[in-house]
A and B are shown apart, each in its own frame.
Chain A
Amino acid sequence: MYTVELSKESLVDEAAGAEDALRAAFEARVAADEFIEPKDWMPEAYRKTLIRQISQHAHSEIVGMLPEGNWLTRAPSLRRKAILLAKIQDECGHGLYLYAAAETLGVSREEMTEALHAGRAKYSTIFNYPTLTWADMGAIGWLVDGAAILNQVPLQRTSYGPYARAMVRICKEESFHQRQGFESMMQLAHGTKAQRKMAQDALNRWWWPALMMFGPPDDNSPNSAQSMRWRIKRDTNDELRQKFVDVTVPQAEVLGLTIPDPDLKWNSERGSYDYGEIDWEEFYAVVRGEGPVAKDRLKARVDAWEGQAWVREAALAHAAKANMKAAA
């Protein structure tokens, strides 16, 4: 028994006292940067927040396969096709590491899948934008995976052990995603006039959605303070967004491409780039499910799940039959 749920009247006060002690011990461990493991006592709100955060992270990885899958059969060379296939397979793997981490908190894979398909669980807004050209494959690797890395690196030290360990594996693999994307963009940027134009167009379309990946601004991010205290989150949204802008602008310069922000300029006092206002209305609209391809994304997931139900059922029936034979 890992939660304090005593029903007997006489034990209520004692239980409340015990819960306070458990909570204090928990807070102290987290504050000391210790890891919390699945069977350790944890406040219900911590468990719930983690289930929400990890499962939505997992959903993002799974849904994230769709925009890239769109170009798999049209990759311009066998080399690019093999790379894209490996990257998509990694995204699937990342989703599975994360689902497994969330399951240690007492939620089942089926419950999480059901929440996604019913529209109760969110995933990253970035995947509700369409991939219109081949250059989008490069831009996604470079910018989207680049932004994901900045979000994910601090999570390797997140307080929940299984989540932190999943993030260590993910970060190791994510670096390949970003570098292959940058290389692909470089090839286009140094290619023909049409290729260069395609690369610039992809940057124009993905830049602002990539900045939105870090979430709402700090003054409008209600859960941040609690999550920082619990070490579920280690940097604020705006800190990470600024870091992303600062590392990405020089990379765009190497590519010879222009960041689509007229207000972007170096601020020598801050030692950082100032950047223009983000269209938060667009962000909240996409969060609400009004992204250009939100419906297609969810439909693709539901169709895959339902269309392949017979495979799962057949496998279980086969296993049950084999078990019966073995027992006989």
Chain B
Amino acid sequence: MTPIWEVFVRAKGGLSHRHVGSVHAADAKMAVSAARDVYTRRMEGVSLWVVPSAAITASDPGEAGPLFEPAADKVYRHPTFYKVPDAVKHI
């Protein structure tokens, strides 16, 4: 069975690579070549990454609550939490 690779494209210089989909290919070089044909036919990118899908470890959606919800009650991590008199500038 031909392995599956996740494809990431950098749309233009200065931006990070973004996941766009996947391709099947026997090796990394062929995966880049397939990704180029499948995901960048209309100048969508200037750089490609391919990663074996099996190499990705994802967080468990069932754990999304314990993982991400604690951030919700920590508003003091945002600058807008702090009141500063109008007269104070450049802060």
Contact = CB atoms under 8 A, between A and B. Distances in A.
A93 B60 contact: no
A109 interface: yes
Nearest to A322: B27
A139 interface: no
A74 interface: no
B23 A100 contact: yes
Interface residues of B, number: 19
B61 interface: yes
A49 interface: no
Contacts of A97: 21, 38
Given A96-B38, A100-B22, A315-B30, A39 B58 contact: yes
A109 to B, nearest CB: 6
Interface string A87-118: 00110010011001101000011100000000
B22 to A, nearest CB: 5
Given A108-B1, A110-B1, A40 B61 contact: yes
A86 B41 CA distance: 9
Contact of A319 (B4, B26, B42): B26
Nearest to A98: B21
A241 to B, nearest CB: 30
Given A39-B58, A97-B21, A103-B4, A173 B27 contact: no
A96 B41 contact: no
A39 B23 contact: no
Given A39-B60, A312-B2, A173 B30 contact: no
Which has the most chain A C-beta neighbours within 10 Å: B22, B23, B60?
A: B22
Interface string B17-37: 000011111110010000001
A166 B7 CA distance: 13
A37 interface: yes
A40 B61 CA distance: 6
Interface in A289-308: none
A269 B26 CA distance: 60
A85 B61 CA distance: 42
B48 to A, nearest CB: 15
Interface in A274-328: 312, 315-316, 318-319, 322
A165 B39 CA distance: 13
Contact of A166 (B21, B37, B41): B21
B38 A315 contact: no
A100 B26 contact: no
Contact of B38 (A40, A93, A110): A93
A100 B21 contact: yes
A315 B22 contact: no
Nearest to B1: A110
Interface string A144-180: 0000000000000000000001100000010000000
Nearest to A96: B38
Given A39-B61, A86-B41, A96-B38, 15 more contacts: A39-B60, A41-B62, A89-B37, A97-B38, A100-B22, A103-B22, A108-B1, A109-B4, A165-B21, A315-B2, A315-B26, A316-B2, A316-B26, A319-B26, A319-B27
Interface of A: 37, 39-41, 86, 89-90, 93, 96-97, 100-101, 103, 108-110, 165-166, 173, 312, 315-316, 318-319, 322
| Among all A-B residue pairs, the 7 with the closest Cβ atoms | A315-B26, A319-B27, A319-B26, A100-B22, A316-B26, A100-B21, A40-B61
21 contacts: A39-B58, A40-B61, A89-B37, A89-B41, A93-B37, A93-B38, A96-B38, A97-B21, A100-B21, A103-B4, A103-B22, A108-B1, A109-B2, A109-B4, A110-B1, A166-B21, A312-B26, A315-B25, A315-B27, A318-B26, A322-B27
